[in-house]
Copies of this chain bind each other. A is one copy, B any other.
Amino acid sequence: MPMTCDSAFRDKRVLITGGLGFLGSNLALRLVESGAAVTLVDAMIPEYGGNLFNIEPIRDRVTINFGNICDRLAMEWLVRDQDYIFHLAGQVSHLMSMTDPYLDIEYNIRGTVVIMEAVRRFAPRARVVFTGTRGQYGPAICLPVDEEAPTNPKGLYEISNLTAEKIIKLYHDVHGIHTILLRLTNIYGPRAQMRHSQYGVVNWFVRLALDNETIKVFGDGQILRDFLYVEDCIEGILRASVSPEGHGEIINLGVDKPSSFLELVQTLIDLAGSGRWAFAPFTPERKAQEPGDFYSDIRKAARLLNWRPTTPLRVGLEKTIAYYRQHRHHYWESPQPLSLKQAI
């Protein structure tokens, strides 16, 4: 991966919300290597992705600030003097949002307002990058899905992300804040949580393969998705954050070559050398929630950011397997009690 924009971050001050999570920690690793002064905010909500091991390689070179983004006074201090604010914290599980709708409103909507009010008042020249989800579109009306497609999200997680995006856009339009609004597809790779299957389907499948379990492939396995390797995603986020063309825009980060779930699972088991798969019928609930084929039109990202993913699925899965094979005890074989154990 060419690290074309890393020099832009030398000696810059960077705040990452959700900084100990999947994307946040991968982003922090790149930014620290680039010479940025990085502060990570994380609420460490047990079921979410915050994990100190994620930043083990840079532990002594970042500032960690434990705290919830809804803590107004804390955020007002943390945003000050930052050049870049990567706002990644949030409730990120569709399934969890369907059982407790209040967390999405609290973290994804109110938390976003807390951050943006703090930015407006104390860091109006910071660049704010928001990572939304392809779920904001809802089911694809035509494929691939570009940024002009209608937004009919089918869950509170997805609705709350769309709301957060519109709120941040408002601070751009009304208060002149420099914002970049990304919509991410399914991301996979090292440093995602592996304790439960409430979100992050590819990583969950990696765990099942490594545990030599059976992976259920629903329906005929032919549903298409674009699975984006985390390093490619981070490269896109970084390019968007420094690009003048990204300013105020909504940009998809995805993969232009989709894969079927069956292809994903077969490749994974082949690479892992363990695990097996079996077809399973859709449950009525799963069927109702399943949005069908989805993959992103990424021509806008190519045009504005000169970005495209470069990691083939096979290579991304290989790296992911290698990481978790080496570090599994930091992700799902830890001794501490897991509050979502029943849900696994």
Q: Is A246 an interface residue when CB atoms closer than 8 A count as contact?
A: no
B170 and A159 form a contact (CB under 8 A): yes
Q: Is A125 an interface residue when CB atoms closer than 8 A count as contact?
A: no
Q: What residues of B have a CB within 8 angstroms of the CB of A156 in the complex?
A: 113, 167, 170
Partner of A105, one of B105, B151, B153: B105
Partner of A163, one of B154, B163, B170, B173: B163
Give bound CA distance, A299 to B115, whole Å. 41
Give bound CA distance, A168 to B99, whole Å. 15
Q: What residues of B have a CB within 8 angstroms of the CB of A281 in the complex?
A: none
Q: Is A288 an interface residue when CB atoms closer than 8 A count as contact?
A: yes
Q: What residues of B have a CB within 8 angstroms of the CB of A174 in the complex?
A: 98, 154, 288-289
* Smallest Cβ-Cβ distance to A169: which chain B residue: B152
Indicate the size class of the contact surface on chain A.
20 to 34
A110 and B117 form a contact (CB under 8 A): no
Q: Is A109 an interface residue when CB atoms closer than 8 A count as contact?
A: yes
A163 and B109 form a contact (CB under 8 A): yes
| Chain A, 142-184, CB within 8 A of any chain B CB | 150-151, 153-156, 159-160, 162-163, 166-167, 170, 173-174
Give this chain's copy count. Answer: 2
Nearest Cβ distance between residue A340 and chain B, in whole angstroms? 21
B162 and A166 form a contact (CB under 8 A): yes
Nearest Cβ distance between residue A91 and chain B, in whole angstroms? 13
Q: Is A279 an interface residue when CB atoms closer than 8 A count as contact?
A: no
Q: Is A282 an interface residue when CB atoms closer than 8 A count as contact?
A: no
Give bound CA distance, A291 to B82, whole Å. 33
Q: What residues of B have a CB within 8 angstroms of the CB of A150 in the complex?
A: 150
Q: What residues of B have a CB within 8 angstroms of the CB of A173 in the complex?
A: 154
B110 and A102 form a contact (CB under 8 A): yes
Q: Is A101 an interface residue when CB atoms closer than 8 A count as contact?
A: yes
Nearest Cβ distance between residue A232 and chain B, in whole angstroms? 30
Q: What residues of B have a CB within 8 angstroms of the CB of A167 in the complex?
A: 101, 156, 159
Provide a sorted-by-A list of 20 A–B residue pairs whose CB atoms are within 8 angstroms.
A98-B174, A101-B117, A102-B110, A102-B113, A105-B109, A105-B110, A105-B113, A113-B156, A151-B151, A154-B170, A154-B174, A155-B170, A156-B167, A159-B163, A159-B166, A159-B170, A160-B163, A162-B163, A162-B166, A163-B163
Q: A109-B163, A160-B163, A163-B163 given. 7 additional CB < 8 A pairs?
A: A101-B167, A102-B110, A109-B109, A153-B166, A154-B173, A162-B163, A162-B166
